[in-house]
Chains A and B, each alone.
Chain A
């Protein structure tokens, strides 16, 4: 047993951290936050050049062919830097769906473009309020075209292509759902940007009107593929959440060391210390759950569904906990636009919902634990 990343993987994490510290300081995040750009294009290009976008994409499809453990350490750094780029939509959702279900031609068409930063991808799953469920999918597929509305779609307004979940049957079973690959620039699609709690990551409404689409994976397999994509994305996004948790904790710690009140650093008061200690605890539990998820993801272990749900829940809780209490430690200044605390608070609460909310993953975890128990 060795329950840790290798020295090479840690070195890659340090490299990513250094790169992002330089190319993605809070000032750059604020450009997107303030609406001056839909995402950080220069950073996106830089990430491609560093090989980070295609780190888990095989060399045959233009990637670095390193693997998912390497992708996990990069995800952590993306979360720590609060990077305002469509990394999770493109890499965790679109690329993972292609890797799992794409034909050789589909992989050949899109994966090299993802790795090189030329194409932004996303997953169009949700249509209204609620959590992932085959029943909630109304968008219709017929004769190679799609019609209907998807929202919210992460990074939908800047994406070049989307994996779209559509209804192809009406039996009431999971097999009513199929996946399609849609070139969003090909016509028949209207994209509208939507205001959301985290402006550094866009959300959109996509309206499909007889939009051309090609099947991704076998007809009727859509829901089972999606479930696997969501599990894989859950682990990767959990690493972003852990990176964000750690950064929020550091910000709170640093402020508590520097800020003087009542004649002493506020970090010497137990009331403040204990807030920070509890943040450390939740971030640590999340990190450990994530490591298990990383192991399951990288080895395609049968434990992945349970491990992914646990990582997702734990990391969501930790990021929400750390980001809100970072503001609390900062006091009034933490509630200003000028301080960076709210950027992490926004990101924490947006990522808590983006693959389905906590209650959905709680439900999934218990289902999966029961299955294992019964087996």
Chain B
């Protein structure tokens, strides 16, 4: 049990610190520090451009995708070094948001299933942020039940022809490539007829339409495929083995989303430290203190749980389903935190304009964005199923569609 850096870790930290201090886009530091869930844009600058420039700069100096092998654009760093980097990068790490899907999910999937030549071609520009990737899994008919997806891939000579629709694709509107899960055989049970590909998002027949979210923003998209051609060389894994390939991606998704989900606690603690209520400072109010303490131990519990996971990782243990806990806890907590921060503002909490609302409407923005965090990347309920079945060893639910050919599964509820 030891929190101190080893001499090697200390040297790494010093090097990272010095480089960040000399190279980070300092003009955005304050604004990034203040940004939170639902409010991540920069005023007077395009955050995508700032993020891409920072990523490229990091890549050129060998600080991008630290845990990836050097030949694929990474640094070959240890899990602990990656954590040290994140600690030192601080608010500038928030600029990595648009790369999370590519670096956290698409990259590892490519690394596990693409050919060597493809890895050398596609991974370095993914690491450097010059090319952005998205993940095309969810469909209108397959969200939690991903294996129920209907987008068809049909073999035609040496190519595959894709027709169908994806939804909830983060960043598809600015992505260059995507990994795509399709149905290649509808006559077998649903998990057994899927195949994974990667494709150029600029291919003819790909159409991206942004979704206007309940929060008013547009982070996600619908993506339509009409006779899109993908060469067989861009298939990842065997034909009809796409489900197994996707499990690699999804486990990595839980790891990266879990680590990145904000709890809202630091923001709430700062807010309560400065807020005055009618009868004195909020932080001296008994009920406020009790609420804060409860949120504090959840936030610290998550922080130390991820440190335990990193310690395990650095001893060579594989990340397991227990990592679902981060997203499950943080996702609902950030929503509660936002509601509580508004409650403390009384009737004026209803105002969300930056000029009228406390802390420029930060918690109102958080409130409106929060419902999505409990759904994206696996709903709270799916996370609980994963913990119950894969950590605690409880039996799976009875699956009425498990042994039924996909094309015989009912598609309508009440007729």
**Is the pairing of A and B real?**
yes
Stretch at the interface among B190-198, B285-293, B334-342, B352-360: B285-293
A221 in the interface (beta carbon within 8 A)? no
Q: Which of B53-61, B131-139, B168-176, B294-302 contacts A (4 or more CB under 8 A)?
A: B294-302
A-B contact count (CB 8 A): 156
- The size of the chain A interface, using a CB distance under 8 A, is 49
Within 8 A of B (CB), among A284-310: 284-286, 288-289, 291-292, 294-295, 298, 309-310
| Complex CA distance for A274 and B381, rounded to whole angstroms | 8
- Min CB gap B254→A, angstroms: 14
- Within the complex, the shortest CB–CB distance from B11 to chain A, in Å, comes to 14
**Among the listed B300, B314, B383, B394, which residue makes an inter-chain contact with A289, where contact means beta carbons less than 8 Å apart?**
B300
A298 touches which one: B1, B305, B394 (CB < 8 A)?
A: B1
> Which residues of chain A from 247 to 299 have a CB within 8 Å of any chain B CB?
249, 253, 256-257, 264-265, 267-270, 272-274, 276-278, 280-281, 284-286, 288-289, 291-292, 294-295, 298
Per-position binary interface string of chain A over residues 130-143, scored 1 when its CB falls under 8 Å from any chain B CB and 0 otherwise = 00000000000000
Report if A369-B269 is in contact (Cβ < 8 Å); known contacts: A3-B3, A288-B308.
yes
Partner of A295, one of B3, B5, B286, B300: B3
- SS of A interface (majority): helix
Main secondary structure of the interface of B (DSSP, over half): helix
With A267-B395, A277-B387, A281-B387 known to touch, is A369 a contact of B296 (CB < 8 Å)? yes
Give the docked Cα–Cα distance between A61 and B228 (Å).
Answer: 79
Whether B351 is near chain A, meaning CB under 8 Å from some CB there, is no
B319 to chain A, nearest CB (A): 15
- B-chain residues with CB within 8 Å of residue A276 when the two chains form the complex: 388, 392, 394
Given contacts A295-B3, A298-B1, A365-B293, whether A286 and B396 have CB atoms under 8 Å apart is: no
Query: Which of A5, A288, A314, A361 has most B Cβ within 10 Å?
Result: A288
Question: In the complex, what distance in Å separates the CA atom of A274 from the CA atom of B383?
Answer: 9
Interface size class of B (residues with CB under 8 A): 35 or more
Does the CB pair A359–B384 fall under 8 Å?
no
Task: Let me know if A366 is at the binding interface, CB within 8 A.
Answer: yes
Q: B395 near A285 (CB under 8 angstroms)?
A: no
* Chain B CB within 8 A of A343 CB: no
Contacts of A2 in B (CB 8 A): 1-2, 311, 314
Option from A4, A69, A284, A361 in Cβ contact (under 8 Å) with B311: A4
Take A253-B394, A277-B392 as given contacts and tell me if A373 and B297 are in contact as well, using a CB distance cutoff of 8 Å: no
Interchain CB contact under 8 A, A291 and B289: no
**Contact A291-B80, Cβ < 8 Å, known A1-B311, A365-B296:** no
Q: A3-B307, A274-B381 are in contact. Are A362 and B290 (CB under 8 A)?
A: yes
With A270-B397, A281-B329 known as contacts, the answer to whether A1 contacts B9 (CB < 8 A) is yes
Min distance, Cβ B197 to any Cβ of chain A, angstroms: 33
Q: With an 8 A cutoff between CB atoms, is A317 at the interface?
A: yes
Provided the pairs A317-B297, A359-B290 are in contact, do residues A5 and B1 lie with their beta carbons within 8 angstroms? Answer: yes
Q: With CB as the reference atom, state the residue of chain A lying closest to B289.
A: A366
Contact bitstring B388-415, A, C-beta under 8 A = 1, else 0: 1101111111100000000000000000
Chain A residues near B314: list those with CB within 8 A. 2
B141 in the interface, Cβ–Cβ < 8 Å?
A: no
Chain B 312-356: CB-based contact to A (< 8 A → 1; otherwise 0): 101100000010010011000000000000000000000000000
- B16 proximal to A (CB < 8 A): no
A268–B394 Cα distance when bound, in Å, is: 6
Report chain A residues within 8 Å CB of B4.
Answer: 1
B224 nearest CB across to chain A (Å): 34
A313 contacts partner chain B, Cβ-Cβ < 8 Å = yes
Contacting residues, chain A, for B397 (C-beta < 8 A): 268-270
CB neighbours (8 Å) of A269 from chain B are 397
- Closest-by-CB residue of B relative to A249 is B392
Answer yes or no: B283 CB below 8 A from chain A CBs. yes
Interface residues of A in 325-375 (CB under 8 A from B): 359, 361-363, 365-366, 369-370, 373
Q: Does B310 have its Cβ within 8 Å of any Cβ on chain A? A: yes
Chain B hits for A317, CB < 8 A: 294, 297
Closest chain A residue to B389, Cβ basis: A273
Supposing A1-B9, A3-B310, A281-B387 touch, asked if A294 and B1 sit within 8 A by C-beta, the answer is: yes
Do A310 and B296 contact each other (CB < 8 Å), given the known contacts A256-B394, A294-B1? yes
Contact between A1 and B312, CB atoms less than 8 A apart:
no
B273 in the interface (beta carbon within 8 A) = yes
**B385 at the binding interface (Cβ < 8 Å):** yes
User: In the docked arrangement, what's the CA distance between A3 and B2, Å?
Assistant: 6
Cβ proximity bits B7-20 to A, threshold 8 Å, 1 near / 0 not: 00100000000000
Q: How far is the CB of A278 from chain B (nearest CB, A)?
A: 7
Partner of A4, one of B80, B308, B329: B308
Report the minimum CB–CB distance from A312 to chain B (whole Å). Answer: 9
A265-B395, A281-B329, A370-B273 are known contacts. Are A1 and B387 too (CB-CB below 8 A)?
Answer: no
Whether A1 contacts B305 in the complex (CB less than 8 A), given A256-B394, A310-B300, comes out as no
CB B104 to nearest CB in A, in angstroms, measures 22
- Residues A280 and B391 in contact in the complex (CB < 8 Å), given A1-B2, A295-B1: yes
Q: For residue B283, which residues in chain A have a CB less than 8 angstroms away from its CB? A: 366, 370
Chain B nearest CB from A120 CB (Å) reads 30
Q: How far is the CA of A286 from the CA of B398 in the complex (A)?
A: 32
Ordered by A's residue number, 27 sampled pairs between the chains whose C-beta atoms are within 8 Å are A1-B3, A1-B307, A2-B1, A253-B393, A264-B395, A264-B398, A270-B397, A273-B385, A274-B384, A274-B388, A276-B392, A277-B388, A280-B325, A285-B305, A288-B308, A289-B300, A289-B304, A292-B300, A310-B300, A314-B301, A317-B297, A359-B286, A361-B293, A363-B286, A363-B289, A365-B297, A369-B269
Chain B residues within CB distance 8 Å of chain A? 1-5, 9, 80, 83, 269, 273, 283, 286, 289-290, 292-294, 296-298, 300-305, 307-308, 310-312, 314-315, 322, 325, 328-329, 381, 383-385, 387-389, 391-398
- Top 6 nearest A-B pairs (CB, nearest first) are A285-B301, A362-B293, A273-B388, A288-B304, A277-B384, A277-B387
